[in-house]
Chains A and B, each alone.
Chain A
């Protein structure tokens, strides 16, 4: 048998998965809900006080002489009390249209040690503490476990590193958009031959090739994302070649299809020195990411919620190098057509003497997990018990902040 004959024959035998990617051998279900949830982990501890600035708090200016807020810092007023850091100004139009907002003075239950490693583990595990051991899975994965039998494409973690928040028993997909699967057409056909009798390898490799092709912008759906992004008015200032934009573009492409949950991280928030310089870069990256998601999602943006969570906040006082050190309370930024933006929700604790946590940090007045939980409650329809026991053990949901429209 010669090569051509062999390839033709195997094609005729029908490697169905190669012809129709994303078909898994076991019958698995698409998600029974239609809304989209994007969870962005801001690693390094975002200084909520400098991103959503409580410039109306009389104590702020004295705490941060080198990190001016409000008008003094050329920030954009949000509601007379809070202002938006100027490096995040690209998000202001979204605030004005109700597609971007923030929740302030929140944190996970993590206290006092202020370690990135533990803080991120607690944030992603969604547990009140790790002191008892048992770190096994993340809260987004436990949410998926509630609806067994979902296709892996329902949830995507995006990027090179494994994300704890989506790790666990429930199948989830993972892809790093910068993966370049360069393979000659001949080698690809030959791989189909060698995988033909092994469904596990056959399906995974044909999916890999299919995804890689979509990434390389050959496939129609990715082109559509690019078109959507190019056509969106707010995308004018957004360069399309950054890795974060690639991530957003990939997420948008998947979310317009079968994917309902996507998660990825944006690193670099550990602003110990020259904070305003770091925040300029981070602000651009985060704004571009949100704008690229919005543009790339097109009409799906209307049923999308984007939550940006960080492991903890930073000290209320600036330090000696025009930065801030590890703290406690911070802000959760959110965006999406499914959420009620244009507001900063907080039970503001104040920054004055005696108001600070441990005399140094923004005091968290609510568990940030409650906001994530209520979004899942209203967006996906999870019930209170599931949220308080399975997804976020030990959480008291409290009153509904009404983030979801």
Chain B
């Protein structure tokens, strides 16, 4: 097995670090991933169900403003709203710092990368900027907890998350013949049904038809969300009768979430789903144009294990192609920033102490310039996989500027570029980068050149 500890960190982990040991084998990588989530324990991000402020906190505070009976009461209520907004901003900033801290220090980098991969698979951008602080808690609760489990559990958790329900308009879908539909005249919205089939399970080439989308949308009715209850199933919104999706019939008696969960189970088990997810994993982690044999092998394992993700990763990691020395993918902006901080061994204490405006200046805005506003891709298909989407003039300007300017704001003193190059790129950096790092006029230029180099930007 051509395992390479440097490639393991760069390609499947969060990059190299001067402080963290690389993995010694594939077994090691998988054992860590299978074990307890140490990074989450050390840098805890709140889960969706417990995060404060909650959406209900916002609703109550907003209601108090509307109901204020005099000027003084209104001022006090508005002050309370501002306070809640500030707390939400703090969750957003702190969660970002916590995620970066995990990526800087973890020995289990594959888990972080998988979390980002699956969070993008089930991307749920906030439908209103005010809710963006909730995306980290959603990922923590509904995605991260399942990256080493069965795919079906992640699918079910995501489909029952308020953010995804709202983003894909399921809260507007009502069975036209349900009590609620008859009373209100409201009807079906196919958005969630289509995206589950097209993006989350079978994939765009999968064996489903428009009739399946329609029937599945009818089956999904009943699922909705509101501020008070979060996500819920309400039988009187559910379209009465049985629905047939991909040849299987669900329900027909009492309307129940169980029917939906059963259908999600069957979709997760569908052979097209195994193929779709396997190809996506390979394209993300290894490179474009996934080798059909590898995808087939992973899909077979997926089918045999009922969608056990650990088993699927195992097949991927044991493939020759996973360890080809050529770096065929470009890091996405968040991974570039986090792996830079990891190579620089930025202090997580310093990171956690940063103010909101510091994080905005060093992380939020630069990522937007690089083309990756955190958690806000333009569509439900998530971030682009092809390098050309990222390495554009604007994207490069963002990366070069960050590489040249941010390290000295994050670290004092900067490392000697001639040593730093080995922290960042491992024992055999390209000659041109060795030369350029040594030839720079200042340490910050030298460090910047290493971070901006294609050798560091690729994985």
Contacts of B405 in A (CB 8 A): 182
A176 to B369, CA, bound (A): 7
A53 to B192, CA, bound (A): 41
Q: Tell me the number of A-to-B contacts counted with CB atoms below 8 Å.
A: 145
Contacts of A184 in B (CB 8 A): 441-442, 445
B199 nearest CB neighbor, chain A only: A133
Q: Interface 1/0s, chain B 396-440, versus A by CB < 8 A?
A: 111011001100000000000000000000000010110110011
B387, CB-defined interface residue at 8 Å: yes
Contacts of A173 in B (CB 8 A): 392-394
* Chain B residues numbered 359-396 whose CB sits less than 8 Å from any CB in chain A: 365, 368-369, 371, 373, 378-381, 387-388, 391-396
Shortest Cβ gap from A270 to chain B (Å): 12
CB of B397 within 8 A of CB of A201, answer no
CB of A194 within 8 A of CB of B454, answer yes
Contacts of B24 in A (CB 8 A): none
CB of B397 within 8 A of CB of A181, answer yes
* Chain A residues numbered 336-361 whose CB sits less than 8 Å from any CB in chain B: none
B154, CB-defined interface residue at 8 Å: no
A3 to B437, CA, bound (A): 11
CB of A160 within 8 A of CB of B368, answer yes
Shortest Cβ gap from B221 to chain A (Å): 13
Contacts of B346 in A (CB 8 A): none
B448, CB-defined interface residue at 8 Å: yes
A236, CB-defined interface residue at 8 Å: no
CB of A175 within 8 A of CB of B378, answer no
CB of A195 within 8 A of CB of B439, answer no
A204 and B379 contact, Cβ closer than 8 Å, known pairs A6-B439, A133-B195? no
A167, CB-defined interface residue at 8 Å: yes
A197 and B457 contact, Cβ closer than 8 Å, known pairs A187-B440, A208-B396? no
A130 and B169 contact, Cβ closer than 8 Å, known pairs A6-B439, A201-B391? yes
Shortest Cβ gap from B190 to chain A (Å): 5
CB of A208 within 8 A of CB of B191, answer no
B245, CB-defined interface residue at 8 Å: no
Q: Which residues of A contact B (CB under 8 A)?
A: 1, 3, 6, 113, 115, 117, 130-137, 152, 160-162, 164, 167, 171, 173-176, 179-184, 186-187, 190-191, 193-198, 200-201, 204-205, 207-212
20 A–B contacts, CB within 8 A, in A order: A130-B169, A131-B172, A131-B188, A132-B190, A133-B191, A136-B381, A152-B392, A162-B373, A164-B379, A173-B394, A182-B405, A184-B445, A187-B404, A190-B436, A190-B449, A191-B452, A194-B454, A195-B453, A198-B454, A205-B396
A132-B191, A133-B194 are known; give 14 further A-B pairs, CB within 8 A: A152-B392, A171-B388, A179-B401, A181-B397, A184-B442, A187-B441, A191-B400, A191-B436, A193-B435, A200-B388, A204-B395, A208-B393, A210-B393, A211-B393
Q: Which residues of B contact A (CB under 8 A)?
A: 127-128, 168-169, 172, 188-195, 198, 213, 330, 365, 368-369, 371, 373, 378-381, 387-388, 391-398, 400-401, 404-405, 430, 432-433, 435-436, 439-442, 445, 448-449, 452-455, 457
Nearest first, the 8 A-B pairs at minimum CB distance are A133-B194, A207-B393, A190-B436, A208-B397, A198-B454, A3-B439, A208-B393, A204-B396
